[in-house]
Amino acid sequence: MADGQALDEVVTFTSDLIRIDTTNRGGGDCQERPAAEYAAARLAEAGLEPTLLERAKGRTNVVARIEGTDPSADALLVHGHLDVVPAQAAEWSVHPFSGEIRDGVVWGRGAVDMKNMDAMILAVVRQWAREGVRPRRDVVIAFTADEEASAEDGSGFLADRHAGLFEGCTEGIGESGAFTFHDGGGRQIYPIAAGERGTGWLRLTARGRAAHGSRPNPENAVTRLAAAVTRIGAHQWPLRLTPTVRAALTELAALYGLEADLDDVDGLLDKLGPAAGLVEATVRNSANPTMLNAGYKVNVIPGEAVAHVDGRYLPGFEDEFRATVEELTGPDVEWEFHHREVALQAPVDSPTYARMRAAVEEFAPEGHVVPYCMPGGTDAKQFSRLGITGYGFSPLKLPDGYDYGAMFHGVDERVPVEALHFGVRVLDRFLRTA
């Protein structure tokens, strides 16, 4: 059981880390080192020997290992990222990098994504040091840079260049899962992530004949690009069920006393009400146009036009995604992956998943744990290169009306103190039994 010092420290650490501005604007414009040094110092105080690693100056990662009692057991990776997305202070109720604690809530960028989890990890590790606790298997702690961009300076760099630090790791936990989802009818659901859609960020390029804007031009690059973007945006992707999503639908149907009719998934989703939001984004591939760039003067038809599309594909359906994009872009538009990462799937019948479920249920006996697939991606993608099966498990007990999803990259990101306390208790319980 987490002690009083651990409960105090998780709040302090969350606030302190928020005050360290680690805004990642992409293109290498971020400095995680101050946060990495802060985390490393807290680990060193607990008797660990953290290693700081950089691919680029200031883009710092921290890795430490806690030796387990069973040297024959596989190791477990516990990871969280140190960078955050940008925040416009004028839009916020409090300054996004104040780390202010007000009315039992910690405010600021990273409160949920994901300096809260970083703080939980630190609080648990330090409690173990005070109590002389050792886990059954080795636990490797990793605080990473660059998750909010390409991860090239973070988990990608660690996986490609420092694989030895993760020797023996077969499973890992990170963001995002084991949070309270209120269904509006009094039920509290705790989804644990056992999969992620793959990332397929696309760059579309249309080329044509540059000319004066007053003349007819059937080779207009902007027109060609616009047509392709419209086709992609309007495309209705077919239903595709992965094992994780099948398990999620089956368990949710049972919770609501419904027949798990997987031949009529859309009908089942309608019957699930708000709980459908846990799975509806992961029953299909998707592609959303997000950026357009063409031209430099209103009376000049440019010779080239470019668009970017945020594509996501389910485990096992990347080939279908590629073929569909090829068809939708057509002969006049070229496309390529601007950034690509694999889709992931983890077993929901594993001992590790069962232990995560048990840890949540111990401290939230009124809750209902279900598996789910994340619509986006995490550092688990890069760590999968090392053969590490990833789960989303950063536990939080949240009050009704708290929009967890809106906290990610949103305005007024914040986390209740009680949610952090719950997270420390559950994480401690799980890691002691893992």
Q: Give how far the C-alpha of residue 372 lies from the chain's centroid of Cα atoms, to the nearest Å.
A: 13
* Architecture field, domain 198-240+284-341: 2-Layer Sandwich (3.30)
What integer pLDDT is reported at residue 279 of this predicted model?
A: 97
The predicted structure's pLDDT at residue 315: 96
Q: What is the dihedral of CA 25, 30, 35, 40, to 10 degrees?
A: 130
Chunked into runs of 10 residues, the chain (434 residues) has average pLDDT values of 91 98 94 98 98 98 98 97 97 98 97 98 98 97 96 97 98 96 96 97 97 96 98 98 98 96 96 96 98 97 98 97 98 96 97 98 98 95 98 97 92 98 98 95
Integer Cα distance of 142 and 73 in angstroms? 19
Matching CATH number, 4-176+378-433, of 3.40.50.150, 3.40.50.10810, 3.90.1580.10, 3.40.630.10:
3.40.630.10
The catalytically annotated residue of 9, 16, 32, 83 is 83
Q: What pLDDT sits at residue 96? A: 98
Contacts of 154 (CB under 8 A, 6+ apart): 59, 61, 81, 83, 144, 145, 146, 147, 379, 382
The yes-or-no answer on residue 264 being catalytic is no
For residue 291, give the nearest of 231, 216, 203 by alpha carbon.
203
Instruction: Give the type of residue at 392.
Output: G
Query: Do residues 193 and 372 lie in contact, with contact meaning Cβ atoms separated by under 8 Å?
Result: yes
- Residues 414, 111: contact at Cβ < 8 Å? yes
| 318 annotated active-site | no
Characterize the bridge pairing of strands 75-81 and 169-174.
Answer: parallel
Alpha helices in 132-261, H assignment, sequence order: 155-161, 221-234, 243-255
Identical topology for domains 4-176+378-433 and 198-240+284-341: no
- pTM equals 0.95
Q: Which of 16, 138, 146, 147 is catalytic?
A: 147
Say how many CA atoms lie within 13 Å of 140 toward its Cβ.
Answer: 23
Each domain of the chain, given as residue ranges in start order, spans 4-176+378-433, 198-240+284-341
pLDDT for the residue numbered 3 = 83
